[in-house]
Amino acid sequence: MALKAITEYLKTTYGIDGDCKKNKLRLETGSKNAEKFVFSEKIEKTTLSGEATVISDISSDSLNTVKFRQKLNTHTHGREFHNRVGRIGLEIGLEYASAVTILGKLFANEGKFLYKQKLLELSIKEWYSFVINNFDALRHTFRYAMANGAQTTTLGLEAVSEKPFFIPQSALFTFDSSSKVQSEFKKNVYTGYLSSAETRSAPEKLFERFCESSSAVDWWYKNGDKGDEYFSIVYVDNSNRQKLFYPDYIVSVHGEPWIIETKGGFDRTGASEDIDEFSSKKCEVLQKYLKKHNLHGGFVRYDKSSMELLICTGEYNDDVHSNAWKVLKDEW
């Protein structure tokens, strides 16, 4: 599953096919929405050069960045290669053996890595250098492919053993004692919940203030992000691994429960500030759950241009100008 998803993602993103020579050029060139890959038999390194009187002065802003190359030695660089492979696999929860097999099938010209859809045919030394030099690009590729690949599959909710969820009778929360505002949010399900509650993202803080001021909201509950006591929905990524999605809030609106997830918003130009590659997947899973249980819900994001919170209650769209996004106060 993971190999197929990563293959399809690379083909779609870079426009590559079965021609390995052309594929190398396309990966080197990159694309509008994807990074460029480095091809070299040598290991490329960077270091900082210059003078600094204190440790805090050691940064790329105050010192010169110097690039240099090392001749690859499969013995001395072997540990770094294995470390990189392991960390790339961790991006999507794969063990080392699975990650190295995928990287070999896609890029290495080695008999044990046979694969009909091989994208490159690198020698062992070239392959080692490729993985080390492109560590960041490869781990991002693995993660993006699992989130947005063309072969994305959703776990059928009928295959999951569901259990009733009840809001815990009590909860501990931390707050920022240095905040100038320490007002109590009366509509939160817990007495004593303060406006300075932490840790909260900017979208969460904006949404909580909206809930407090909205006459449509009866009460609201801030969900946790891990643990059996919190509300979660199961889904499967492209590596066929089960994951848990913990929506941020449960809100009563005019007596009807809504399940809400908040995400990074849109800047003044309309560009997305959402850094979660899995947003589209999570939205799909949430909508399926809502439909099954005849509930309401959606994704909420802040639009800096209109200075309004927007809500998407259907198919996810990263374009603020699309009809997917409605002004939240108008919907509630």
- 179 shares its domain with 49: no
Q: Is the pLDDT of residue 294 over 50?
A: yes
Q: Quickly state the pLDDT bin for 153 (edges 50, 70, 90).
A: very low
pLDDT for the residue numbered 45? 66
Residue type for position 301: R
Give residue-wise pLDDT tens across range 253-293.
Answer: 999 999 999 999 999 999 988 888 788 888 989 999 999 99
Question: How many domains are contained in the chain?
Answer: 2
Residue 310 sits in the same domain as residue 195 = yes
Q: Which element (helix H / strand E) includes 174?
A: strand 174-175
In this structure, are 54 and 180 located in the same domain?
Answer: no
User: How large is the average pLDDT for residues 186-215?
Assistant: 92
193-to-128, 213, 221, 249, 288 alpha-carbon distances in Å:
53, 15, 10, 14, 31
Q: Give yes or no: residues 288 and 190 share one domain.
A: yes
Residue with structure tokens 């045919």?
Answer: 121
Contact predicate 63/49, CB 8 Å: yes
* Residue 289, SS3 per DSSP: helix
Give the C-alpha separation, 66 to 33, whole Å: 27
| Average pLDDT over every residue of 52-65 | 55
Q: Which residues form the domain of 58?
A: 2-148
Q: Which range in 63-67, 175-179, 268-272 is most confidently predicted, on average pLDDT?
A: 268-272
205-220 burial: b if 16+ Cβ within 10 Å, else e: bbbbebbbebeebebb
> pLDDT tens digits, residue range 224-244?
988 889 999 987 766 667 788
pLDDT for residue 42 is more than 70: yes
Same domain, 92 and 173: no
pLDDT band at 37 (very low <50, low <70, confident <90, very high): very high
Residues 143 and 31 in one domain: yes
Q: Flag whether pLDDT at 44 surpasses 90.
A: no
Is the same domain home to 190 and 325?
Answer: yes
Percentage helix, strand, coil for the chain under 3-state DSSP, each rounded to 5: 35, 20, 45
Query: pLDDT band for position 54 (50/70/90)?
Result: low
Closest residue by Cα to residue 317 from 329, 330, 299: 299
85 and 35, same structural domain? yes
Percent of the chain with pLDDT strictly greater than 90: 42
Q: Based on the domain organization, do 98 and 144 belong to the same domain?
A: yes
Mean pLDDT, residues 5-11: 88
Q: Work out the average pLDDT over 100-117.
A: 90
66 and 98 belong to one structural domain: yes
Nearest by Cα to 138 from 38, 18, 8, 239: 38
Residue 155, pLDDT score? 44
As a whole number of angstroms, the distance between CA 260 and CA 295 comes to 11
The token pair that represents 246 in the structure block: 């913990």
Name the β-bridge partners of 174: 198
Q: Is the pLDDT of residue 154 over 50?
A: no
Q: Any idea what the CATH number is for the domain that residue 262 is in?
A: 3.40.1350
- The predicted model scores a pTM of 0.64
